[in-house]
Amino acid sequence: MVTLDQFRVFFDKLAQTYSENEEYLTDLDSAIGDADHGVNLKRGFTAAQKQLAETEQNSIGDLLKTVSMQLIKTVGGASGPLYGTFFLKASMAAGNARELDAVQLCKAFEEGVAGLIARGKAEVGDKTMIDTWVPAMEAMKEAAKNAPSSVREMLVQGAAAAETGMKSTVDIIAKKGRASYLGERSRGHQDPGATSSYLMLKTAAETLG
Q: What residues does each domain of the chain span?
A: 2-207
User: CATH second-level architecture of 2-207?
Assistant: Alpha Horseshoe (1.25)
Beta bridge partners of 3: 99
pLDDT at 108: 98
SS (H, E, C) the chain: CEEHHHHHHHHHHHHHHHHHCHHHHHHHHHHHCCCCHHHHHHHHHHHHHHHHHHCCCCCHHHHHHHHHHHHHHHCCCCHHHHHHHHHHHHHHHHCCCCEECHHHHHHHHHHHHHHHHHHHCCCCCCCCCHHHHHHHHHHHHHHHHHCCCCHHHHHHHHHHHHHHHHHHHHHCCCCCCHHHHHHHHHCCCCCHHHHHHHHHHHHHHHHCC
Are the CB atoms for 153 and 111 separated by under 8 Å?
Answer: no
pLDDT at 181: 63
> What pLDDT tens digit does each residue of the chain (209 aa) get?
999 999 999 999 999 999 999 999 999 999 988 889 999 999 999 999 999 999 999 999 999 999 999 999 999 778 999 999 999 999 999 999 999 999 999 999 999 999 999 999 999 999 999 999 999 999 999 999 988 779 999 999 999 999 999 999 999 998 877 777 667 877 999 999 999 999 999 999 999 98
pLDDT at 151: 95
| 29 contact partners, CB below 8 Å, separation of at least 6 | 35, 36, 37, 38, 192
pLDDT at 136: 98
